[in-house]
Amino acid sequence: MAKRKNDSADVTGGSADYSADDITVMEGMEAVRKRPGMYIGTTGLEGVFHLVREIVDNSVDEAMAGFASRIDITVHKDGSVTVVDDGRGIPVDKHKKTGLSALETVMTTLHAGGKFGGKGYQVSGGLHGVGASVVNALSEWTTVEVRRDGKVSTQKYARGKAVGDMDARNPNETDVPGTGTSVHWMPDATIFPEIGYDWEVMSNRFKEMAYLNQGLTIHLHSEWHDSVWPFNDVTYMFDGGVRSFVRSLNRRRGAVHPTVMYAQETIDDVVVEVAMQWNESFIENTLSFANVIRTGDGGSHVTGFRSALTRVLNDFAKKNNLLGTGKDDIKNLSGEDTREGIMCVISVKVKDPQFEGQTKGRLGNPEVKGAVEQVVGRTLVEFLEDNPSDGALIINKSTTAARARAAAKKARDLVIRKNAMDGGSLPGKLADCTEKDPASSEIYIVEGESAGGSAKQGRDRQFQAILPLRGKILNVEKARPERMLAHEEIAALITALGAGLGEDYDEEKLRYHRVIIMTDADVDGAHIRTLLLTFFFRNMPQIIGNGHLYIAQPPLYRASRGRSARWLYSDAELDEWTANRLYGNFTMTSESDSKVELKSTKIGRVLTPMRDYIESLEVARILNIPQSVIDKLVTDPEYASLDFRPERPEAPVETAQGSLFGEAEEPTDSGDDADEAIEAVVEEEAEILPDRTYEIDGYTLTKDIFQNPAVRRLRVIYPVIKDVVEAGTFTVTKADNVVATNVEWQDLPSTLDNNSDRSGVNVQRYKGLGEMNPEQLWETTMDPNERMMLRVTADDVMAADDMFRTLMGDDVEPRRNFIRANALEVKNLDV
C-alpha cells in the first residue's frame, strides 16, 4: 500500500531539511531575469513598452539637463527598438570602482548611473539607476552606440552581459552627426510571452513628453505597424508647453472660460509648472507628472494643487459674494465641487524625487506639496483678480456642482432609507449568492426579466449572483447625479454592488470582484451594454481600473448535423465548422502559375477573411474609390503610411504677430500674456488649415477615406488572403469531379455553397439570452470551466473619455460624424 504524503507539505512545497544550502543568492542581471515583474511591473505587452519608456526617459533626462533637443524612436519590423538622442552621450572612459568602461558599467550593473551624485543631472526621471541595465537584462541582445569626444564607441550585449570589448572608431558619413547615444535592443522572447506595440499608447505617451519639455522634438517611426495602421510616423514638438497641452485637451470639451491659467515657478529647487481650464463636463481630469514621468496615482504635488485650488476659490467666492446669502445657498465649496469639469496638467521637476516603486506611480516628496500649493495659490489669486469674469464663470460651475452634490446626497440617503423600510439593504430583484468572500463571488448584470429568470435557474448559487435590469438604464453622460440616483435600475445596481460611487467609492465594500455584463447579441443588447459601460466609467472607474468588470460572450450560433451539435461564438468558428462538415471533399486549385491550393480545414480558415474582404471592397465601391486606387493602397509600400497633417505656415509666429498687432505697431507687452495670445492665434491658424490630399490615378485621396474602417480593414486582411487574390481564377473539384472552372476568387464562397450538400445541417442564430434554456445558458456562458469573457480595461483614459463623450454626450455633431464614418460597417442591423 502506498504511503500517503503529508497534505500540508504538498501544498506549501516545504522541506524539513532547511539549511544554509537552500539559500540562493542571485547577483546582477540574474535577479532581474528571475523576477522581472519587480522592475517593470509585468511581462505582458505593458512590460514590453516599459522597456521603451526606460530608454526614452534617459534621453529625456538629457533634454531636461539642457543637452538634448531631439529623440528618434524606431520600432523595427522584427520587434526590436532603436532610440537615438543628440545628448552628451554615455561616458566611455574607465570607471574607477568597476574597472570597466562607464558605458559597460551603466549597461550591466544595477543601480549604476549619473543620477545619484547630482553632478551629471540636476533633474531626471530615472532615479534608481536600473533603467538601461534592466532593459539590457531583459533583452535577447542589445547594441549601444555612443558619439562623443570625436569617436563612435560601440558595444554589444546578450541578456545583460557584454559580448566582447567596446569598439571605438572615427565617425564616417553614415553616422548620426554630433554627439549622443543610440540604443538598439530586442526584447527577450523567453521573458515576454508576446512581443507587440500599441501605436496609440506609444504616440500618446511621447506626445505628452513633448508637451512637458518645451522645444524638445520627439520623432516616432514604426515599421511594426506598416501593414496594420494608417499612420506609422509622427513628430511632436510644442513651444507652448503644458498650456498648449490643456488647450489641446479642452478643444472638444466646451471650455467654460476662454483663458488658460498658467503658472511656472521654481521654489526651493522644485520647478512647478501648472496649467488649468474648466470645461462643461462633470468629471475631473488632472494629469500629473514628476520629472516627465506620469504619476497616475497622484502624490504630494496633486495634494498641494488641490489644497490651494479649494482654498483660493472659496476665498474668491466669499469675497465677491458669489455663494449667496440665502438659507438654501451654498456655504462652502468642497474640493470635489471646485474640481468638477477641470482640465489640469501639473508638472514638477525635482532633484531627488521619491517614487513608490520602480514603476513610479506616485510621488512622495513632502516638500513638493508646499511648493505646488504656494505657486498655484499665488498664481490663481492673481488670475482671478485679473480675470474676474472668468472667475465668476468658474465659481458658477462649482456652485452648480455643489447643488447637484447636495441633491445627489439627498437622493442617495432616500434610496438607503427606502431599502431599510423595505426590510433589507439589498434590492428585491437581486438573486444573491451564498458565498460571502467578494474575491470568490461574481454578479451577472442581465438584460431583461426573461433572461434573468434563465440565469437564476442556470447559475451556481454558491458564488454567482444575478441582477436583472428592466429596459435600458439612464444615459448618465447627459444626466446630473441627482437624476441618475433617482433612476430605479441604477439605484438597484449601486446598492447591489455595495461600494458606493464617485469619491465615496470604497473597494473594501465591493461585494463581488467579478462584475459581468450579460446582454443579448443584438442592437438593443449592444446599447444596454454601452449604457452600463458609460455608467461604470463615469461613476465607478475603480471597478474598471482594478480589473473587476467583464463582458460575457454568449454564443452566436448553434450548429448541428445529425446528432452532432456545437456552440459557435464567432463567424470564423462557423466557417471552420462548416468547412469541416461540408467542404471536406472540396479542393480549389488556382489556374495560374502560382499553384495555390485550398482544401478542407484551410478553406475554413480563409473563408471569413475572404468574406470580410469582399464586404469591405463593396463598401469601398459605394464610396466610389476606384479599384486601381484600392490595389495601390493594399499592395504598394509607398502608400502604407501617408501623412495627412496640414502644411504649417513657413513663419507662423511672424504671421501671428502681424495679425495681432498690425504691421505698423510694435507689441506693447513682451510678457506671458502676449506670448499666450500669439500662441493661441498660431494654434487657431493651424487648426483651420486643410488636410493634405494625394492624387492617385486621377483620384483625390483624403484623410477621411484613408482612415475609413473599410479601407483600413482591406489593408489588414490583404496579407492573409494575398495568395488567393493574386491567383485570380480557380478550378473547384468535389472528390474527383470538377464542378466549376474559371471561378474568380471572390466567387469561391458562393461556389462552395451552391455545390455542397447541406442536408441535415442546421445553423441557428442566437440573438437573445432568453432563447436558451437555463442548462444551455450555464453550459455556454456561465460555467467558469467553459465560458469566454472579455475583461474591460481603459489603458488610455483620455481616449476612452473622448469616445464616451462622442457617442453618449449632448454634442450631436461629433456623433453624426462618427455615424457617417462607420455607417457602412454595421452588420446584423435589426430593422
Residues assigned a catalytic role: 447, 520, 522, 524
Q: State the Cα–Cα distance between residues 808 and 825, nearest whole angstrom.
A: 19
CB atoms within 10 A of CB 102: 20
| Grid coordinates belonging to 26 | 542571485
In angstroms, the Cα distances linking 310 to 257, 261, 326, 329, 770 are: 18, 15, 22, 18, 51
**Spatial CB neighbours of 722, under 8 Å, sequence gap ≥ 6:** none
- Angle (CA) 799 803 804, round 5°: 120
Identify the helix (H) or strand (E) that includes residue 576. Answer: helix 571-582
How are beta strands 139-148 and 151-158 bridged, if at all?
Answer: antiparallel
Cell 531636461 sits on residue? 64
Instruction: Tell me if 238 sits within 8 A of 244, measured CB to CB.
Output: yes
Running DSSP on this structure, what letter comes out for residue 742?
A: E
- Angle (CA) 729 734 740, round 5°: 35
Cell 430593422 sits on residue? 831
3-state secondary structure of 146: strand
3-state secondary structure of 550: strand
Residue from 550, 537, 443, 538 nearest 496 by CA: 443
| Grid coordinates belonging to 645 | 497633417
Instruction: Tell me if 491 sits within 8 A of 419, measured CB to CB.
Output: no
| Grid coordinates belonging to 378 | 499665488
Length of the chain: 831
Cell 456562458 sits on residue? 781
Residue from 661, 713, 686, 549 nearest 240 by CA: 686
Q: State the Cα–Cα distance between residues 815 and 819, nearest whole angstrom.
A: 6
- Angle (CA) 86 88 92, round 5°: 125
DSSP string, 46-68: HHHHHHHHHHHHHHHHHHHTTS-
Q: State the Cα–Cα distance between residues 569 and 780, nearest whole angstrom.
A: 9
Beta-sheet strand order (sheet of 261-267): 261-267, 270-278, 342-349, 285-290, 293-294
In angstroms, the Cα distances linking 244 to 238, 284, 464, 598, 678 are: 8, 18, 49, 56, 12
Q: State the Cα–Cα distance between residues 384 and 316, nearest whole angstrom.
A: 8
3-state secondary structure of 801: helix
Residue 498 backbone class (left: φ over 0; alpha: ψ -120 to 50; beta: rest): left
Strands (E), 480-578: 514-518, 549-552, 557-561, 564-568
Q: State the Cα–Cα distance between residues 1 and 741, nearest whole angstrom.
A: 70
DSSP string, 334-398: -HHHHHTTEEEEEEEE-SS--BSTTTT-SB--HHHHHHHHHHHHHHHHHHHHH-HHHHHHHHHHH
Instruction: Tell me if 400 sits within 8 A of 282, measured CB to CB.
Output: no
| Type of residue numbered 403 | R
Identify the helix (H) or strand (E) that includes residue 167. Answer: strand 167-169
Q: Is 492 exposed, middle or buried (0-12, 13-18, 19+ CB in 10 A)?
A: buried
Q: State the Cα–Cα distance between residues 498 and 566, nearest whole angstrom.
A: 39
Determine phi and psi for 677, rounding to 5 degrees.
Answer: -65, -45
